[in-house]
Structure 1
Amino acid sequence: MTTFLTPQQRADRTAAAVEAAVTAGRDLGLTVTGPTVLHDVFSVVVHLAPSPVVARVPTVLPRPGDLAALARRQRDELDVTRWLADQGVPVIAPSPLVPREPVRRDGFSMTFWTFVEQARDREPDYVANAESVAGLHAALRAYPGRRLEFLSAADPRFIADGLALLDRHPSLIGAAELDRARREWRLLEPLVRSRGAFEARFPGVGLQPVHGDCPPANIVNAVDGDLYADFELVTLGPVEWDLAALGPEHEAAYNRGARRNGMRPLNEEVLAFVNALGMLRIIAALTLVPQLPELMGYLEPAVDRWRATPFAGGVNV
């Protein structure tokens, strides 16, 4: 039987995250008198007003107790975004008012960012965003920082563990669908676990730092201009990973941006691979629904689309 977080438990988790962020911020010398929650889904994002600082506190995690692994990811994100900001790339940058390191407090690991005023009257243009991502990729090619892990954004451990655990949640996915997902994973897993296997299967497809978490959907419409945000899953991989599951219109837009930036167009075979892999991540994400019950409403349409796709996206290994 699947046990879901109650509304009261969800509220208590949010309150605990806010309290941890406020306490940590004050310990770092910030004035915090009016904390305001800006976002509360996978992370509690809180403006530590009146300080121009936003704390992001991840709360829905595949491995909630592994704060060390979370902090490693957060350091990568802080390093990459600080470097991009220094190059003049429009990103939401780490706050310069506190040390640029993850902070652990009361069972949470959090990061601190510059507060930006959002243009609430502007609707996001995801097609235009997809075109602009090619410019972000062009900038990221020169990133000189610590070595990023190959396709860590796919989190193969999360997929493997999630597909193993879903037997315990028959209300979330049927037995036949789970069997299909596991067979697809057996086919695709070697290409995710091994950079060498990937490069042998897709020769000539270069790898580089990429955003890792659907950058066309993670561009903030700020008052002073659009800003790339949420590099929590920054990784080494093919540029196709950042366009996974977005569809032909967004792919065509990206290719326009790629031509303008002197980059290669998207590779159709690699797109098929990352699309299939992204779908398996969605299936594994069903295991997060007990922590975030409203997530089911977002995942169900994607699972329905997956049922209608060819096995493993038609990828031949």
Structure 2
Amino acid sequence: MTDFATPEDIAKRSNAAKEAAVAAGRELGLEITEGKVLYELFSVVVHLAPSPVVARIPTVLPHTTTLEDLARRQQQELDVAQWLHDQGTPVIAPSPLVPRKPVQRDGFSITFWPFTDEDKSSEPDYVRNSELAADLHKALRDYPGELDFLSSAEPRFVREGLDRLESQPDVVDPADLQRAKQEWQVLEPLVSDETEFQKAFPGIDLQPFHGDSPPANIFASTNGPLFSDFELVTKGPVEWDLGGLGPELEAAYNRGAAKNGLRPLDKDVLRFVNAVGAIRVMAYLSCADQLPAMVEFMKPFINQWRGTEPYVR
């Protein structure tokens, strides 16, 4: 049986992350009387009150991610968000009150963002957000920084995560795991090597993109929608950002793409990114010992994947 973290363990971890953020913020010169936890799941998000600054601290991490790896990814996020802001793109940019770099303290790596008021007057409009994602893709085409190819797919983690799940039949059904590993043998070369991807999908242009479903990461601020959470920013086919969202939202994106002079989504590439995304979801269950709620949360995704045809080429 998997040894899951208890609610007490998770509360202790969240409190340690909050205290690390408060201490780091004070060292940077911020006035902080208390840390108010705004959100916690894979990360802990803390308002460093009364300063208008929010700290984000990733706490549930793949076994392959070191603090150095995390800091590198966070620096890319900070740089991309700042560059987009400088170009006039509506984003949550890094806090201007502290240096634009991650801070490591007490085993955590922390980034700092402005406290932004949320408009809670309506539910998220994912159709509109999917159309707006094309605006983001157009803006990102000119990003001058270096990004790795499909780093958001985390191929090494997926491979090793699937291997780790072999000893956790209480988390993933062995038949599901066997199918996932067979599909990953086909998919891994395509997410690991830009040349192999281009051989498989000739003519598909590659560019910087958000990496973590921008339609789900548009923050409804009181001053309008803002793109946020570029933790998985990377380079590759834009289809990745629309993976798993279905025909209605794909059609909405295509409307936005047409307005921006961009190509429509490619059905074959969508099938590819959907397959990669499903196996990546399963691999993340190897982290369920850190966040037991993940098992129930991921079930609908696994059930949907069971109903699809295995990915073969």
Report the TM-score, using the length of structure 1 for normalisation. Answer: 0.97
Within-5 A mapping of 1:225-240: 225-240=224-239
> 2:199 — aligned with what?
200
Deviations 1:211-269, CA, capped at 9 Å, x for gaps: 00011000111111111110000000100000000000010000000000000000000
Question: In 2, Cα distance between the equivalents of 1:119 and 1:184?
Answer: 42
Query: Per the alignment, in what secondary structure is the counterpart of residue 35 of structure 1?
Result: strand
> 2:294 — aligned with what?
295
> 1:133 — aligned with what?
133
> 1:70 — aligned with what?
70
Query: Per the alignment, in what secondary structure is the counterpart of residue 54 of structure 1?
Result: strand
1:45 aligns with 2:48: no
Instruction: Quote the RMSD (CA, aligned, Å).
Output: 0.9
Question: In 1, Cα distance between the equivalents of 2:63 and 2:94?
Answer: 25
Shift of 1:297: 2.0
> 2:242 — aligned with what?
243
Question: In 2, Cα distance between the equivalents of 1:285 and 1:236?
Answer: 21
Shift of 1:174: 1.5
Shift of 1:175: 1.4
User: 1:17/1:178 Cα in 2 relative to 1: closer, same or farther (>3 Å)?
Assistant: same
Question: In 2, Cα distance between the equivalents of 1:158 and 1:285?
Answer: 9
Report the TM-score, using the length of structure 2 for normalisation. Answer: 0.98
Amino acid at match of 1:197: E
After TM superposition, the runs of 4+ consecutive aligned structure 1 residues lying more than 6 A away are none
Shift of 1:302: 0.4
Question: In 2, Cα distance between the equivalents of 1:210 and 1:16?
Answer: 32
> Contact between 1:122 and 1:221, CA under 8 Å: does it hold in 2?
no
> 2:118 — aligned with what?
118
> 1:284 — aligned with what?
283
Query: Per the alignment, in what secondary structure is the counterpart of residue 110 of structure 2?
Result: strand
Question: In 1, Cα distance between the equivalents of 2:77 and 2:65?
Answer: 20
Question: In 2, Cα distance between the equivalents of 1:64 and 1:183?
Answer: 21
Higher alpha-carbon deviation: 287-296 or 40-49: 287-296
Q: Percent identity?
A: 58
Unaligned runs of 5+ in 1: none
Shift of 1:36: 1.0
Higher alpha-carbon deviation: 2-11 or 285-294: 285-294
Amino acid at match of 1:7: P
Shift of 1:122: 2.1
> Contact between 1:37 and 1:46, CA under 8 Å: does it hold in 2?
yes
Higher alpha-carbon deviation: 24-33 or 288-297: 288-297
> 1:172 — aligned with what?
171
Q: How many residues align?
A: 313
> Contact between 2:129 and 2:215, CA under 8 Å: does it hold in 1?
yes
1:144 aligns with 2:111: no
